[in-house]
Amino acid sequence: RLSVTLVLLLSVLGLAAGGKVLALPVGGSHWLSMREALEGLKAKGHEVVVAAPEINLHIKPTDNFTMKMYPVPFTQEEMDKDFHAFLKGGFEEGSFLERFVRTYQRMKRLSDFAFISCEHLLYNKELMRYLEESKFDVVFTDPVIPCGPIVAEHLSVPSVYFLRGIPCGIDFEATQCPNPPSYVPRVFTEHTDHMSFLQRVKNLVFDVQNFFLCDFMYKPYSKLASEFLQRDVDVLDLLRKASVWLLRLDFVLDYPRPLMPNIILIAFQGGSFLERFVRIFQRSKKTSALFLATCEYLLNNKELIKYLEDSKFDALFTDPMLPCGQILAEHLSVPSVFLLQQIPCSLEFEATQCPRPHSYVPRLFSANTDHMNFLQRVKNVLFDIPNNLLCYFMFQPYSKLASEFLQRDVTVLDLLRNASIWLMRFDFVFHYPRPLMPNMVIIGGITCTHRKAHLPINVKEERKEMDPALIPKEDIDGHVLWRISEEKSF
């Protein structure tokens, strides 16, 4: 675990007991990742102090750490507005020059917020005096905003960097890590690590904008650091003094590249298939018990069940991931519509009698694709064993509960087979193609924020024939629409 790695790092610094950690995080998703690491250190007995601006993204006061919040001269609304504009730019298309200019303009505004926050930290005399007197053992920070390295240099304590990467690639230069343009793709190029000669030339040319971006992002911090530390220093000098770089990436998802000895990859928890399976089993056991208890309370709530019986529903809309809804549908004798992404142990295949040949449909945990050689297909067959175990563990208690409530022997598989329609929230753009049954409908990502502006023509024509009472007043394009006939047939 990451916390274990950090504790070992602290022990190297000569800590016989719990150490004092100063965390200087960057807001947004950077903080969400760092917070988990800090909670691990706190659980190991270390004292954690977090210094952050009062106006930020997601960094909120908590009892888990000692929080030192300092004032800044801008509002939350101003920061949120510019941050959302920056995120939106990532989905806008255009030429390289157009994308680069847009990114530059929006990043400049966000960089201004970060730089102003850093200034108000360094020149907050009361807070800096507290940090100096606290005698921290290590500074834990994200160097994408180099305020943390400046504070670490001022306090003369070792620094541990926790990051995903730095946009202009200055982390390569700071660690003196090889970064050949022949193999390591540059930002905005859309290249892979397998490039033709012309792509390598293009990759080299794109380094120009990286130098420009580095100068734009970090030159103000070099000037600020020189003024605060009262000696000539630049950001590169500060970054080179880091003790350890903890990189939140893995070569499973990122292009392989050279690493230096003080760079540690921490993206995923490792382990064999058996170790991963046991971890998931242990974590899901308690959660499953809570869901089962919730279902029991629902079915044993006589007043609520009576209301449901008297309401004469036409259909029951549920997610069969937890089969409590289907138990109710069976009790009320109404058709059921399932909305789901999938069931972990693939019970939906068996319930719908849908073909799922081992030769083409990858099993859970196997890490296979839909293009397998002979040995991978054998492995795919073997991986069905834990799937069956997972199904038994998850759904056997519901089979017992359903039999008691419905007063007849019944299994979860029997209940799922009675579904009228399966609405599957996936698409073969992102999922491996597989067989489907006639009552299985693929509806994709209906929860996406950016839906299409207009409904498809065939859906519009269907709507013209619908009873107006069935159409919501606030029309939301992109939702699945269907009509229940007078006979209530599906």
pLDDT for the residue numbered 17: 61
What the chain holds in terms of domains, given with CATH numbers, is 2-265 (3.40.50.2000), 273-447 (no CATH), 453-490 (no CATH)
pLDDT for the residue numbered 155: 97
Stretch 440-464: mean pLDDT, rounded? 58
Are 315 and 337 within 8 A, CB to CB?
yes
> How far apart, in whole angstroms, are the C-alpha atoms of residue 326 and residue 181?
57
Burial of 41 (0-12, 13-18, 19+ CB in 10 A): buried
Question: Does residue 179 sit in helix, strand or coil?
Answer: coil
- Which of 311, 291, 315, 309 shows the shortest CA–CA distance to 418? 315
Tokens 């795919």 found at: 380
pLDDT above 90 for 13: no
pLDDT for the residue numbered 161: 96
* Model confidence band, residue 477 (pLDDT cutoffs 50, 70, 90): very low
Least reliable range by pLDDT among 5-19, 71-85, 87-101, 160-174: 5-19
Stretch 14-28: mean pLDDT, rounded? 80
Q: Could you give the strand order of the β-sheet that contains 244-247, starting from the edge strand earlier in sequence?
A: 66-70, 47-53, 20-24, 138-141, 159-163, 244-247, 263-265
Q: What is the DSSP secondary-structure string of 278-323? A: HHHHHHHHHHHHHHHHHHHHHHT-HHHHHHHHHT--S-EEE-TTST
Stretch 253-271: mean pLDDT, rounded? 79
pLDDT for the residue numbered 6: 54
Stretch 70-85: mean pLDDT, rounded? 88
- Which of 146, 148, 151, 160 shows the shortest CA–CA distance to 131? 151
Q: Which residues contact 187 (CB under 8 A, 6 or more apart)?
A: 167, 168, 169, 206, 209, 210
pLDDT for the residue numbered 465: 47
Least reliable range by pLDDT among 33-47, 109-123, 175-189, 238-252: 175-189
Average pLDDT, the chain: 82
**pLDDT tens-digit profile of 28-67?**
888 988 998 899 899 889 999 999 999 988 898 888 899 9
Q: How many CB atoms lie within 10 A of CB 138?
A: 26
- Which of 195, 164, 166, 158 shows the shortest CA–CA distance to 180? 195
- Which of 290, 415, 408 shows the shortest CA–CA distance to 343? 415
pLDDT for the residue numbered 418: 94
**pLDDT tens-digit profile of 386-400?**
777 778 888 899 999
- Which of 110, 55, 113 shows the shortest CA–CA distance to 83? 110
Radius of gyration of the chain, Cα coordinates, nearest whole angstrom: 28
Are 69 and 50 within 8 A, CB to CB?
no
pLDDT above 80 for 172: yes
Are 336 and 419 within 8 A, CB to CB?
yes
* Model confidence band, residue 234 (pLDDT cutoffs 50, 70, 90): very high
Percent of the chain with pLDDT over 90: 40
pLDDT for the residue numbered 318: 95
pLDDT for the residue numbered 268: 65
**pLDDT tens-digit profile of 306-337?**
999 999 999 999 999 889 999 999 999 999 99
Q: What is the DSSP secondary-structure string of 131-151? A: HHHT--SEEEE-TTSTHHHHH
